Every structure is written in C-alpha cells, then in structure tokens.
Amino acid sequence: MTDNTSQTETPAATPDDKPDAVVAEQTPASQAEKTFTQADIDRLMAERLTRQKKEIAAQFADYEDLKAASTRLKEIEDAQKSEQEKANEKIAELNKRLEDQAAEVAKANLAALKSEVARVKGVPASRLHGKTQEELEADADAYLAEVAAREQQTKRTPTKTPAANLKSGASGSDSNALVGKARAAAALRELKQGN
C-alpha cells in the first residue's frame, strides 16, 4: 500500500464527510469519479475529527462550571443538614430538660400536698399514698379509721393478768411456789403496802 492508492467516493456520501472546499469543487460536470490519496483521506478525517471535537467542546463548554456548581450545592446542602441536625438535637435536649423540670415540680407539689393533708388530718405524711388531694384525703381517712378500730379492739380486750399478781417463775395461780428471792420481793411489797 502506497500513499498513491486511490479510492472511489460513493454517491451516498454526505457533505459532512468532505471539507467545504471539496464540496465547492464538485459541479454537476465533475461528478464523475474522483480519486483520493491516503494523505487526502487522513487530512479529511483529521479535519472532520477536529470539527466534531469543537462541536462537542462547544456543547459541553460549561461542564466544568456545572460540575463546580453541583459540588458547591452539595456542600451547602450538607452544611444545612448538619445545622438542621444540630438544631433538632438542641430541641430534643431542651424538651428533655423541660420534662425533667416538670417531673420535679410535680414531685414537689405532691410532697407539699401530702404535708398539707397530713397536717390537717393528723396523719404521718410518709404514710399517705395517692397523687391527688382527694386520693390523699381518702387514704388519710382510711388510716384514721384503721387506727380507731385498733384502739376500740384494744379497749375491749381485757388484760390477762395484772402485773402486780405476776410472780417470777411461777404459774401465777400457785402462791406457795415462791422461792428465795421471789419470797423476799413479795415480803418487801407487803411491808410497803402495809405502811
């Protein structure tokens, strides 16, 4: 293959395939066969590639600008997202503190209410259970009723044996069973009662 090889151009070729100068040279009379050398074909292809590169470069000329703008937008969105996350965390922290303070206030109010009900009803505050004044008063009334019932029960039940009739080591009914120290203690008591 030498540089002088010729090729025949087909009639289906488009003007884009040929440089403008070659298209202008063709006239209806010269549409007969035209031969090209390898150098001509290489030159035509180089010109065509150069034109296509320029067209593509013109089409995507602002690609780097768009890429930079996209990167900057992404950075701004990330920064805003971070700021939003920080704001959300701060809101959550403040809500938690508010709930804690509300719980402390409620606890202090309940303690004050218990103290007031205990003072009015005469019941120990540590004994009261409930969360509202009505519940605390009902609990205090129940406690007072329970205490009154116990007192009534204690008054009704007689004591088994008076303390004066108890004898040390004795069964309580046998007065002859006193020995030693117990007899001496009994004698002293009788002397004191006699005077």
Q: Are 45 and 97 contained in the same domain?
A: no
84 vs 33, which has greater pLDDT?
84
Q: State the residue range of the domain holding 127.
A: 88-157
pLDDT digits (tens, 9 = 90+) for 11-23: 444 445 554 545 4
Domain annotation covers residue 83: no
- For the chain, how many structural domains are there in total? 2
Q: Does one domain contain both 110 and 147?
A: yes
Does residue 140 form part of some domain?
yes
Task: Give the residue with greater pLDDT, 35 vs 176.
Answer: 35
Name all contacts of 141-150 with Cβ < 8 Å and 24+ positions apart: none
Residue 117 located in a structural domain:
yes
- Does 133 fall in a domain? yes
Same domain, 53 and 105: no
Q: Convert 93-105 to b/e letters by CB count within 10 Å (16 or more is b).
A: eeeeeeeeeeeee
Instruction: Kindly state whether residue 191 falls inside one of the protein's structural domains.
Output: no
Please indicate, yes or no, if residue 13 is contained in any of the structural domains: yes
Identify whether 40 is part of a domain: yes
Q: 131 — phi, psi (to 5°)?
A: -120, -15
Q: Is residue 175 part of a domain?
A: no
pLDDT digits (tens, 9 = 90+) for 85-143: 888 989 999 999 999 999 999 999 999 998 999 999 888 888 889 989 899 999 999 98
Residues 98 and 53 in one domain: no
pLDDT of residue 157: 60
Per the confidence metrics, is the pTM higher than 0.85? no
What is the tens place of the pLDDT at every residue in 44-57? Answer: 999 999 999 888 88
**For the chain, how long is the longest CA-to-CA vector?**
173
Whether residues 95 and 52 share a domain: the answer is no
